[in-house]
Amino acid sequence: MVVEKRLVQQPGEPAGVVAVGVEITYTIRITNTGTTALAIVPLQDLYDANYLTFVRANPTPDTTSTGAVGWANLVGAGMLPPGSALSVTVTFQTRQATDSQPNRQTLNVASLSNVQDEFGHQPQPPVVSDLEPVRIARSAVAVSKMILSPDLSGVGVGQDITFGIRVENVGEVTLAQIPVYDLYEADVLEYLRTNVSQPRVTITGTQGELYWSDITNIFGDLAPGQAVQFSATFRMIAPRTTTNVVRVDDVVDANNEAVPPAQGLGSVEVVPVATAIYQLFAPFVGNQSVDVPTPTPSPTPTPTPAPVVDNTELPCPAPGCPVSGLLHPKGMTVHTGLNRLYISSRDTNQLIVLDARTLAPIVTVETGAEPWDVVINEGTNEAFVSNYASNDVWVYDANTLALKQVIHVGPQPALMEIFPDINTVAVVVRGLNGIAMIENGAVVQYVPSGGIGPYGIAADQVNKQLIVGNRDTGNAWIFYKDGTGWQMAGGSEMKNFGGQERTGPFEIAYNPNNQRIYVISMRPSGTWFVDVIEKQSMNSLTTLATLDVGSSGSDRDGDVGGTGLEVNLATGNVFVANTYDKTLSVISGELNQVVATILTGDDPFEITSNPVTNQIFVTLRRPNRIQKFADLY
């Protein structure tokens, strides 16, 4: 067995260096490298309480004491099969600097002992451990941004906006080098001037950047407790939502030590209130984009065979067919090879498997708390279930439904996507505003979603890309995989869905055969629509159509819809669940228009398809039923 402990850090942060008074998180990965399943896996995490204070862990530990956190058995009633792994996350608050310690670091040690396999034997060696040092720096910097003029009563297109940028030394060591980046949207704001030395101005497409290589050349070194402020003035040239973000990276203190970076948010949302007048306020904005290598041309996807309706398929029209034991269906998917339907039953904490041809029950198994989504890897014959309330993903043998693994991913895991050929599952973790990337049974990376309230997710299987939408900040980004992991594609942000501001995207779907992204959203007025976006590349996105569909309710309602969005790869048709209206909208992938409206039973919520049999399946949430029909549209 092997245990690995790593400090979780974001791109651009100095490796192994954190600030005083912040939360830091470690991941602990335990791998069974033996030949027998592990039945008892105790874990102890040791830390120096002079420098760290325990905050929380996932899963919740059985014991906590000063300097130690312990778990009696991480596998519970299950097993950890050979070759499988599980992950634990532990979060601490940093208390004071470690400059007086050896190597100016404090050590955090994860240790396994008294492990037993399925036969009661103890693996060799009997104790394994791993340590992860971290330096808690006395040096720290804070940056903030504010609107200096005009006041917040309003601004019009053609008027000037002056932002104040404030940088403060909140550490204990003088800061000797402070680069500052000011990022803005050049198609909305035009840079005019600053009250200090001129920055380097770079405009790439619609993205603008002001860069001061070192403001200590202007103000001198920044002593502890000292703050400086300067301004940058822009002209509003377009009446729409825009974002203005300031960052300090690559800061160095007087000891020539790296300082943890900081980011300040000073965004402007422009909303028409009268002729040529717009309201201003400052909501949260997502992360800085990264430079993206030139994408390789998208290979032509293998054409999907023409649909063939199997006459043995038994339809189940509205009001749908009852499913024994189903209570609040949430997620659903099809195993095309087995022609089985997998449905999560949220209120009974169960996964229900049906014969997709007849909807006859096959097996029901337990899940974690409040199961949400289900995805299948037909290559490994595994089923993955995200459990919203127990913060984990359960992995089953898709044929026998034997539980193979429990993977802890963080608070509120919801919708998922899967890349079967690289054995990777992407999980939207709403409580972290990010995506947990599971590869070969272990979480290998947490990727910030680029906003708040991540919800919809879609996979481009051909190019190994993800599209992730953020409901609360009204934007979506494309992510890609390179040699170092998953990255956000700079220039790929999508927002103002439907050509309107303040629209929140819900579910997202993607068709690799025509490279179309489909995004379902709700306008502030309460009406619902689907944007059809052509993805020529990650940085070249064109909205082809905005199509009105039926209502899925209010986004303030706990039973809001917006989740049912499915591309049938056999026909290219897109199906949209209109939860409130009790209908489905059918969008032609060829015509980019709504070609049919289908009546359903009450409360249609999730949709999935089997392109092999050309069948469409719809969960009816309140009546706990399934509706099924052939795609003949």
Task: Tell me the per-residue pLDDT of 125-171, one tens digit each, with 9 for 90 and over.
Answer: 878 888 898 988 777 788 887 888 776 545 677 888 888 898 988 88
Same domain, 455 and 416: yes
Task: Please indicate, yes or no, if residue 291 is contained in any of the structural domains.
Answer: no
The answer to whether residue 279 scores a pLDDT higher than 70 is no
CATH number of the domain within which 251 lies: 2.60.40.740
Q: How many CA atoms lie within 13 A of 328 on its CB side?
A: 11
Same domain, 246 and 388: no
Instruction: Please give the DSSP secondary-structure letter assigned to residue 270.
Output: -
pLDDT at 328: 96
Task: Please indicate, yes or no, if residue 238 is contained in any of the structural domains.
Answer: yes
Same domain, 266 and 343: no
544-558 confidence digits (pLDDT tens)? 999 999 999 988 888
Q: Which of 137, 169, 192 is the last residue of a domain?
A: 137
The answer to whether residue 311 scores a pLDDT higher than 60 is no
Same domain, 91 and 170: no
Same domain, 81 and 185: no
70-84 confidence digits (pLDDT tens)? 999 999 989 999 999
Same domain, 465 and 609: yes
Q: Which of 279, 302, 326 is the last residue of a domain?
A: 279
Lowest mean pLDDT among 332-346, 391-405, 484-498: 484-498
Same domain, 426 and 331: yes
pLDDT at 185: 86
Lowest mean pLDDT among 265-269, 339-343, 597-601: 265-269
Same domain, 426 and 448: yes
Q: How far is CA 32 from CA 2, 29, 202, in A?
A: 7, 10, 50
Task: Please indicate, yes or no, if residue 304 is contained in any of the structural domains.
Answer: no
Given pLDDT bands bounded at 50, 70 and 90, which one contains residue 102?
Answer: low
Task: Please indicate, yes or no, if residue 331 is contained in any of the structural domains.
Answer: yes
pLDDT at 262: 61
Domain span at 454: 316-630
454-467 confidence digits (pLDDT tens)? 999 999 999 999 99
The answer to whether residue 117 scores a pLDDT higher than 90 is yes
CATH number of the domain within which 130 lies: 2.60.40.680
Task: Please indicate, yes or no, if residue 149 is contained in any of the structural domains.
Answer: yes
DSSP β-bridge partners for residue 209: 183, 202
Task: Please indicate, yes or no, if residue 305 is contained in any of the structural domains.
Answer: no
Q: Tell if the pTM clears 0.85, that is, is over it.
A: no
DSSP β-bridge partners for residue 91: 25, 56
The answer to whether residue 517 scores a pLDDT higher than 60 is yes
Given pLDDT bands bounded at 50, 70 and 90, which one contains residue 288?
Answer: very low
pLDDT at 57: 95
Task: Please indicate, yes or no, if residue 408 is contained in any of the structural domains.
Answer: yes
Same domain, 55 and 167: no
Same domain, 110 and 175: no
Same domain, 356 and 463: yes
Terminal alpha carbon distance of the chain: 54
Report the relative pairing of strands 116-117 and 106-112 from DSSP bridges. unpaired
For tokens 């029901």, the residue is 364
State which amino acid sits at residue 266. Answer: G
CATH number of the domain within which 510 lies: 2.130.10.10
Give the integer Cα–Cα distance in Å for 534 and 288.
Answer: 24
Instruction: Please give the DSSP secondary-structure letter assigned to residue 571.
Output: T
Exposure pattern of 47-80 as b/e (b: 16+ CB <10 Å)?
Answer: beeebbebeebbbebeeeeeebbebebbbeebbb
For tokens 């949302």, the residue is 269
Q: Which of 82, 116, 137 is the last residue of a domain?
A: 137
Task: Please indicate, yes or no, if residue 491 is contained in any of the structural domains.
Answer: yes
201-212 confidence digits (pLDDT tens)? 999 988 899 999
Same domain, 235 and 119: no
Report the number of distinct structural domains present in the chain. 3
- 427 touches 412 (CB < 8 A): no
Of 152 and 602, the structure prediction assigns the larger pLDDT to 602
